[in-house]
Amino acid sequence: MAENEVAKPSRRAILGAGVTGVLGLALAQTARAQQDGKVEKAAVMYQDSPKDGQKCSMCVNFQPPNACKVVAGEISPDGWCGAYAPKSA
């Protein structure tokens, strides 16, 4: 290569950098959730809709208007996850 030519990155290098960036963001979010003592939505099979009449707003872990003591991030009051525990009457 001549002295005045600039090396162009390969597609593989660009793709690798993109994948690394995405993984970095995912790890940062996971670390933030772990610091809060909460788990990621996928770990508890969170869904934005009720399941068998159970929904987040009826759970002891629900924190109005859209948070949870167990699940990281914003949740729907009408959602559901595997950490569901009904409020006692």
**What pLDDT sits at residue 78?**
98
Identify whether 77 is part of a domain.
no
Domain that holds residue 45: 11-68
Identify whether 74 is part of a domain.
no
Residue 14, C-beta contacts closer than 8 angstroms, at least 6 positions apart: none
Number of domains in the chain: 1
Amino acid at residue number 30? T
pTM above 0.75, yes or no: no
Q: How far apart are CA 19 and CA 13, in angstroms?
A: 10
Tell me the mean pLDDT in the region 56-71: 96
**What pLDDT sits at residue 75?**
95
Identify whether 57 is part of a domain.
yes
**pLDDT tens-digit series, residues 9-19:** 777 766 666 56
**pLDDT tens-digit series, residues 8-55:** 777 776 666 656 766 766 666 655 555 578 889 999 999 999 999 999
Identify whether 76 is part of a domain.
no
Identify whether 52 is part of a domain.
yes
Identify whether 1 is part of a domain.
no
Identify whether 22 is part of a domain.
yes
